[in-house]
Structure 1
Amino acid sequence: MATGQDTLWEKFIQPLFGFLIDREALKELSDSIDWETESDRLKNPDLIYPEYYKSQNFHGIKGGYLNSSAAVTYDPITKHALPPNENWNREAVIKAVTGNPLKIIDLGCGTGSTTIMLKQAFPNAEVVGLDLSPQMLVMAEYKTQLERLNVQWLHGLAEATSFDDSEFDLVTASLLFHETPTAISQAVLKEGFRLLKPGGQVIILDGHQKTLRNTTWLTDIFEEPYIEEYAKGSVDAWLGKAGFTQVLTEDVWWTNQLSTGVKSISNL
């Protein structure tokens, strides 16, 4: 992965997004939030940030997601970075849901875009969004207040939650695995398997691994520290290793993929 000065991100993507994004509106939004107070309110005081997370910059932002700048800019950047349309990609998660889940957890929820869509699609479900960044959770909560939705936002590790075994009907993770080392991605799936009730479903939306392997310039653009490692792997294989059956991965346009699996009763 290219790092430092003169990356494609700094030379092309940042200036392009700077043209597309209303910086004054973002500043007004950021200034309207007491980030320290709100982050502290949502923060788990006992959580110790893992080295893979706190030591890296993501998307060219110093300090990664542990700052308000990342939280404010994530949505407008992602809006333009997920062709052909961000909502079209995230709606693939909703369309893949089987049955009518009553308890859902969205791991690595970020600013809650997919989490909110899940709550809107399944209004009677108890929906939980979990993320390592309290700042991202502040933005997620802000968005749910605007939509007048009831979602539980939790600060925690996707690979080691505090929930009981077999507590959820549906586990999702959107655009998480390309931002974690392979060992952590596998640990998240193992945790997801533990959290699911027998017959429960897991849905993973992320970058298209085959495309990323064949278009290495994409890994340079977005300055993702683990994306090359992710591209070399197989979410299908990781799901199988975690114990899931009925594993299937489908294309979501050419840049993303959607992987699903089931916690079969016969696996228990």
Structure 2
Amino acid sequence: MSEMNHQHFGHAVMPQATHDEQAMEDHFLSMRMWTNRNLDPLDRRLLDEVIVPQVTAKTGTAPKSSAQVRQALEAHPLHQLWLTLSLFYQDRIWQVLDGAIDRQFDELAAKVDEQVAAPKGSLRLNPDIEIPRYISAIDHHRMPGSYTVDTADKDFRAGALYDRFASTYLRNLNGGWKNDGRGHTLASHVHDFYPDLEVRRILDLGCSVGHSTVAIAQAFPNAEIHAIDVGAPMLRYGHARAEAMGVAIHFSQQNAESTDFADGSFDLVTSSALMHETSAKGMRAIMKECFRLLRPGGVMCHVDVPPRHEHLSLWDQMRCDFESHYNNEPFMTSLARTDWVAVAENAGFAREDVEAGYRKGTFFLKPDRADFFTAGDPDGRTLLGSWYACSAVK
């Protein structure tokens, strides 16, 4: 294999690819693109033109939910091919990136140590933390070891793997190699709806490696930024990553359901793509913790995956179900049916103070009210490139 490296991209601790590793990544990304462009439309036609009429003829009622068509759809060879390819390219990308990190692990370890030698921010770990089962029992996105498994002393592997995968898998769909589109979208929402909010302290929940946290810090340059996650290897890497990017963030290993911060100690509490990886019980506990942590007049803002069950076609419902049943995102389907406003209200926020709807994604600070909307059309076209946002003032 050739050991010639591509031109360095990203920050100082980003794993790099050789020519051959990059070629393998591109191969499986091309397979993903081919499947999306060619098999997705066929699978949609299969459902609409074959499976729905079959189910309707059998039951006497046209199906309205993906649960009513799933068994018949998954029995068809075309859909089985779609499922097989969708899982295959995902797993192979993970394997290619995992091998690349193996090759340069010692080099990356030295770079991580170098970045945190004289930090602007900080890192506080808790070896006794109890990891919620909805995290510890699942390899999310089929990522080997998920977010919490240590493979070495002072391990950062999970963070490096997740950072490289996000930049590779999403490419330019979420902000390029920084993977920070959700963070810019969240910050834009806060600047849009709460322009007079005085922000001195921010807490980002479920920060992973700080993709969104860095963008939020850039949008509020005078604020002290704290970020928590349950995964120690994610935080070790995220700390080094933030330092490499020149951003002071105070990372700590904590469960977002119950933190050790004082009541009313933050002006803004945020999360990006956290809720779809928590249980229904966990989501409700996190919202209550947000209410406790905010000072009066403070704001919480969450940005997450966009599917809302009531705005999806049958095939798009099935596509959302795929994430739960096969891509190790078991709570995505239930989140699509969750009333965020009711959850926020039950956490203590006044219903009239809660905003919930879609937010068009942006890769920079763009507080434009026209980018916020609350309805989606049945074929999902208006939802492309959008995130689901929920915010509230205490």
Smaller-chain TM-score range? 0.7 to 0.9
- The answer on 1:179 being equivalent to 2:269 is no
Contact 1:206–1:257, Cα closer than 8 Å, also in 2:
yes
**Alignment partners' CA distance in 2, 1:201 and 1:8:** 42
Q: Which amino acid aligns with 2:108?
A: S
- Once the two structures are TM-superposed, the CA of residue 42 in structure 1 deviates from its matched residue by 4.2
Q: Which residue of 1 aligns with 2:181?
A: 88
Match of 2:341 among 236, 251, 260: 236
Contact 1:89–1:252, Cα closer than 8 Å, also in 2:
no
**Alignment partners' CA distance in 2, 1:258 and 1:85:** 16
* 1:33-55 Cα distance to aligned partner (Å, 9 max, x none): 279x99xx843033122222211
Contact 2:183–2:212, Cα closer than 8 Å, also in 1:
yes
Contact 1:166–1:198, Cα closer than 8 Å, also in 2:
yes
Q: Which has the higher contact order (CA 8 A, sep 6+)?
A: 1
- Once the two structures are TM-superposed, the CA of residue 76 in structure 1 deviates from its matched residue by 3.3
Aligned-pair identity in percent equals 27
Equivalent pairs counted in the alignment come to: 257
Question: 5 Å matches for 1:79-118?
Answer: 79=167, 80-81=169-170, 84-86=173-175, 87-97=180-190, 98=194, 99-118=197-216
Higher gyration radius (CA): 2
> Which secondary structure does the structure 2 equivalent of 1:84 belong to?
helix
More displaced, 55-64 or 102-111?
Answer: 55-64
**Alignment partners' CA distance in 1, 2:146 and 2:269:** 25
Question: 5 Å matches for 1:38-57?
Answer: 42-57=124-139
> Which secondary structure does the structure 2 equivalent of 1:232 belong to?
coil
**Alignment partners' CA distance in 2, 1:241 and 1:91:** 28
Distance change >3 Å, CA 209–CA 8, structure 1 → 2: same
Structure 1 unpaired stretches of 5+: 264-268
Question: 5 Å matches for 1:1-268?
Answer: 9-15=86-92, 24=100, 27-28=103-104, 31-33=107-109, 42-67=124-149, 68-79=156-167, 80-81=169-170, 84-86=173-175, 87-97=180-190, 98=194, 99-210=197-308, 214=313, 215=316, 216-221=318-323, 222-245=327-350, 246-253=353-360, 254=383, 256-263=387-394
Q: Which amino acid aligns with 1:188?
A: I
* 1:6-38 Cα distance to aligned partner (Å, 9 max, x none): 75553233446778x797478536752279x99
- Once the two structures are TM-superposed, the CA of residue 159 in structure 1 deviates from its matched residue by 0.5
* 1:202-235 Cα distance to aligned partner (Å, 9 max, x none): 0001012416965222442532122222222122
**Alignment partners' CA distance in 2, 1:225 and 1:27:** 32
> Which secondary structure does the structure 2 equivalent of 1:178 belong to?
helix
Contact 1:55–1:63, Cα closer than 8 Å, also in 2:
no
Q: Which amino acid aligns with 1:66?
A: T
- Give the TM-score of the pair, scaled to structure 1: 0.83
**Alignment partners' CA distance in 2, 1:42 and 1:238:** 30
Contact 2:303–2:390, Cα closer than 8 Å, also in 1:
yes
Distance change >3 Å, CA 173–CA 89, structure 1 → 2: closer
More displaced, 49-58 or 126-135?
Answer: 49-58
**Alignment partners' CA distance in 2, 1:148 and 1:29:** 23
- Once the two structures are TM-superposed, the CA of residue 199 in structure 1 deviates from its matched residue by 0.5
Structure 2 unpaired stretches of 5+: 1-69, 75-82, 117-122, 150-155, 361-382
Contact 1:213–1:232, Cα closer than 8 Å, also in 2:
no
Contact 1:248–1:260, Cα closer than 8 Å, also in 2:
yes
Distance change >3 Å, CA 110–CA 219, structure 1 → 2: farther
**Alignment partners' CA distance in 1, 2:132 and 2:93:** 32
